[in-house]
Amino acid sequence: MNKRMSGFTLIELMVTIAIIGIMAALAFPNMSDFIASSRIANRSEQVANLFRFARGEAVRLNQPVVICGMKIRNDGRATGTCDASQFQSGMRAFVDVDRDGIYDEKKDTELRTIAINGGENIKNTTNIVTYATNVSGRVSASTRKPYEFIFMPNGAFGTKPAASLANLQLSNQYVAIQIYENTKYSADRNLRGRIVAINPMGMVQVCRDTTTHPVTSNKSPNYYEQQSVCSLPST
């Protein structure tokens, strides 16, 4: 009795493999964008949560809490020294016990450290822009670089130069922290970029970094009429 043979022929197998390959090629770019977008969303939430945590601890401990940039080594550990040029590497929140504006591991209390980029593998870029306000409520981009951020026990939020309490600016600035993927940033900014927005009272929110920011001009003065700096020009 002849048994009926079943299975794929070589041609059918080759056609199936070809179709799978085409479908994978079409899906891979979308998957890459999804992974990149998820990575940026994760980093931006880490930064936002660090600021929220620092604000709460300043009130709870009745002590100033400072957030500074800090280099993260290849092994994932922080160097322990605040560095204004290392915000894209990592950030640390600490209690400034002696209130001198300088992190001293023997005197001050480390609260939390986050890594934006591990070691020298720079995949994400962090750009910080501050917006000053005047008595009329008008907002304009500030040329002053925020070397460190500080939360006071009364809930006030501000910026200050590194290792100093001189020129401390409190409750008069909005901060936009841009976090985006280096790869194909210009083409995919709307998909990948995020902004961590902090208002003068230290309230934090995360939003997408879009290319539809209004531009400050004589015809269109840029007033702070929304609840975040997400709609303000950040480049």
> Is 79 part of any domain?
no
The range of the structural domain enclosing residue 137 comes to 11-60+123-231
Residue 193 lies in a domain: yes
Sequence-distant (6+) residues with CB within 8 A of 219 are none
Q: How many CB atoms lie within 10 A of CB 100?
A: 13
Q: CA quadruple 169, 111, 120, 211: dihedral positive or negative?
A: negative
Assigned domain for 104 exists: no
Mean pLDDT by 10 residues, the chain (235 residues): 64 82 67 74 91 95 93 83 86 90 87 80 67 56 72 88 72 80 53 78 81 36 40 48
Tell me, yes or no, whether 27 lies in a domain.
yes
Whether 203 is in a domain gets the answer yes
Q: Is 77 inside a domain boundary? A: no
**pLDDT value at residue 117:** 79
The pTM of this model reads 0.73
In a domain, 66, yes or no: no
pLDDT at res. 51: 95
Supply the pLDDT for residue 108: 92
Contact 202, 51 (CB under 8 A): yes
178 within domain boundaries: yes
